[in-house]
Amino acid sequence: MLSVKGSRIALVCSSLIFATSAGYNVWAHGNVTPQAVDTSKLPDIKPDNKTWLTKNPYRDDPKVYAIAQKIGESAYGGNCARCHGLEAISGGIAPDLRYLDKGEAGDEWYIQRFQHGSSRDGKVYMPPMGEALGQKAGWAIRSWLDTKHEE
Ligand code: HEC
pLDDT at 33: 80
Whether residue 70 lies inside any domain: the answer is yes
73: in domain: yes
Cα gap 31→122, rounded to integer Å: 16
Residue 89 belongs to domain with CATH number: 1.10.760.10
- Can you give the pLDDT at residue 18? 45
Give average pLDDT by consecutive 10-residue segment, the chain, 151 residues: 42 40 57 86 93 97 98 97 96 96 95 97 94 97 97 94
Quick one: pLDDT at residue 26?
67
* Residue nearest atom 5 of ligand 1, based on CA coordinates: 80
Concatenate the DSSP letters of all residues of the chain into one string.
---HHHHHHHHHHHTSPEE-TTSPEE--TT---PPP---TTSPPPTTTS-S--SS-TTSSSHHHHHHHHHHHHHHHHHHTHHHH-GGG---SSS--GGGSPPHHHHHHHHHHHHHH-EEETTEEEE---HHHH-HHHHHHHHHHHHHH---
Structural domain harbouring 40:
34-148
Task: Provide the pLDDT for residue 97.
Answer: 98
Q: Is residue 15 part of a domain?
A: no
The answer to the question of residue 18 being in a domain is: no
45 part of a folded domain:
yes
Atom in ligand 1 nearest the alpha carbon of residue 22? 17
Q: For residue 111, give the nearest of 68, 87, 140 by alpha carbon.
A: 140
With a 6 A CB cut-off, is 137 part of the ligand 1 pocket?
no
Rounded Cα gap, residues 98 and 78, in angstroms: 17
Looking at the domain assignment, is residue 101 inside a domain? yes
Asked whether residue 28 is assigned to any structural domain, the reply reads no
- Residue 58 CB less than 6 A away from ligand 1: no
Number of domains, the chain: 1
Q: Is the peptide bond before 127 cis (omega within 30 degrees of 0)?
A: no
Q: Residue 82 domain-assigned?
A: yes
CB 52 within 8 A of CB 113: no
Distance (Å) from CA 6 to ligand 1 centroid: 32
